[in-house]
Structure 1
Amino acid sequence: MTNNHELAGVTHVNTPALNRFLAAAKPSATYKVMDRVAARRASGAAVISLSAGEPDFDTPPHVCEAGIAAIRAGHTRYSQVAGLRALREAIAAKFRRENRLDVDWRDTLVCSGGKQVIFNALAATLNEDDEVVVPAPYWVSYPEIVQLCGARSVIVPCGAQSGFKLSADALQAAITPRTRWLILNSPSNPSGAVYSRAELQQLAQVLLAHPQVLVLSDDIYEHLIFDGLEFFTLAQVEPRLRERVLTMNGVSKAYAMTGWRIGFCTGPRWLIDAMEKLQGQQTSGASTISQHAALAALSGPQDFIGHSRTVFQRRRDLVVDQLNRAPGMRCEAPQGAFYAFASCDGLIGKTTREGAYLKDDEAVANALLDETGVATVHGSAFGLGSHIRIAYALDDVSLRHACAAIQNFCRTLVE
């Protein structure tokens, strides 16, 4: 006997049902674009990809050597679930030194990338019908992780008029008795927005009045901040929130280590313990080799960070200037990260030279890839339409070619 049956000459297969929270989640929009780029390149097409959210630099040599040395020294077995003690001590020292947080190594956790930090935190604390406040534009995975945990995202639009940042009034309006978390990302992916000390203090005043609300402070782009601005994180600005804030970071963006998969965090001990318990049944901990490399990154020379920041600021200036020369596009200079979140509102409703009608920002991004070979990600994937996200983690020559193609695309549109 089989599970197949014939009906009207068509074979049907009874497939097992997916978990309903997974079934409702959407695939990552950025990875879908990256898949399209790979497919076009495999077919021989030339593509300039401005879609990937990773530095184009190589991992610093001393970090790579630390990974190789770890292999040669036989550090290829399991580590403690929460991470190597030496790395956790270096993480605690980083939080004390750079963020002025009074952190002990026991208050830290090492995960397989920043995404696992977020997943562990939300999965360890959310129940069905809980709510998570997510300012938009947001990183594409935030609402999907909330969905996978059975909870509900409360999306708060934060447009260009607010600098793509959440205001205290908007936060107050979004909080209900079911609110369990606020996710705060600064510098922001996709907008590059950076919260000042004063703006964080205003948000903190609202949060102090709502003791049931935890805060996930995603600081992964902390070191990519421009124009001499100073970085602040919420638990630093308002110590009274320390027992409710999970401060997360990692080595992926600051040290060009995306593929090494090391993220880390600090927060209240009860939450760290719960996340460690979950991780013990999930991955059993991060790669030991990668942990040794991350230790070298955090403890070794830090000149790479200043160099990459200078390069990214120069690229930002180049890209913003060129985008603002494209008819129908507007782009404010982001204060951090390596993304330009450009308005394409002036392009919507027009038709391309090849006859594609631009009904929305996704159509704009698709047409740019199809007709110019420039890959971007549509803003609606980040919760805020009529924009496209451009990652300027690419060499200057390629960026100039991409911007010239975008300008030509915009000039040839017809009403």
Structure 2
Amino acid sequence: MSDLLRFATAGSVDDGKSTLIGRLLYDSKSLFSDQVEAVERVSADRGDDYTDLALLTDGLRAEREQGITIDVAYRYFQTPRRKFIIADTPGHIQYTRNMVTGASTADVALILVDARKGMTEQSRRHAFLATLLGVPHLVVCVNKMDLVDWSEDAFESIRADFTDFAARLRTHDISFIPVSALLGDNVVDRSTHMPWFDGSTLLGHLERLHLAGDRNLIDARFPVQYVIRPQSESSRDYRGYAGRVASGVMRAGDPVVVLPSGFESTIASIEEAGEPVDVAYPPMSVVVRLADEIDISRGDMICRPANMPTATQDLDVQVCWMDETAPLRKGVVYGLKHTTRTTRAKVTEVEYRIDINTLHRDQSTDVLELNDIGRVRLRTSTPVFVDQYELNRETGSFILIDESTNRTVGAGIVTTTRQD
């Protein structure tokens, strides 16, 4: 069974993200004939002398008219080696929130850099956001190599600049690939124009990237999403807890503790799609049955007695603000959704805003405006069970909700944990 890799594209406007994705889909034979015909027809109607593969992902009318990506476009494709989900994220600074959304679940961030322009502020911003969100692997695609005569010097200069900047970021795996998305060089097929590059093509690199080490298989965390109590007479004693394994490994017979009650029990059985399984691990969706009858409801968390998350009402977090109508302010109360648990949270402090172009901390503000990212302190009305985001992306992340409109207004990650 081939595994799944999620990757997000990022880069400055017109660096060719949508074209790169279109090329991946086109050259890997992942498109239906009617999709290709539709793109060819639209390209011809616009007077283009080439097939604009970017149209495969730029689905919004506003995007096609402006020639930029605004929303996050998701695409799925599969090769014999692996399944892929692509998030094509915006490059404009005013759509930072969309990029955060697309990269938040990614295994890989593809950062495109125009070979003619080199590193830009947006390149630095997207690299910072990707590492802030804990994306384990960065792939820097130096695009439009055909417009610099396939110059090795141009590629090496960008590699040196990016490597120097990345030394200030928390990232452990960066790869560099010179490509031409428009012509297809080094995307799926190896380029004949750049014999000096002996690395893998982009698709080859993504197919072979090792992901198992990125999963947290140590800290068992199972947020309960739904309690299953069949109504039939024959199943009246059945009580199962459905959810998705956030991290760790769970097996029948394992001792567990339920938060917030603190009651302990043992896993009696685990089922997936109605069939018993010996082991559950992320991101499997399963039903867990316990040996003892315990009062458990949605939002509770099953974990190990000797390895529990921090139960706290005080959170030190980084927040990306997504609301156009009002900034995040000290003293305001929001809804907070963490795993399957929903509570309320009051902003007790806005410590600083991060200038995501320079990485400097602006401590002169006490609000976060649209697309701002900053350090904030929150006080929740009930305890939440969290881990640091860098250790566990599932239990270290949350969203903030405007209680009057039920709109998502912010996304956050837990930077430090404080035991109550």
Structure with more helix by fraction? 1
**Which has the higher Rg, Structure 1 or Structure 2?**
2
For CA contacts below 8 A with separation 6 or more, give which structure has more relative contact order.
Answer: 1
Normalised to the residue count of structure 2, the TM-score between the two structures is: 0.24
Normalised to the residue count of structure 1, the TM-score between the two structures is: 0.24
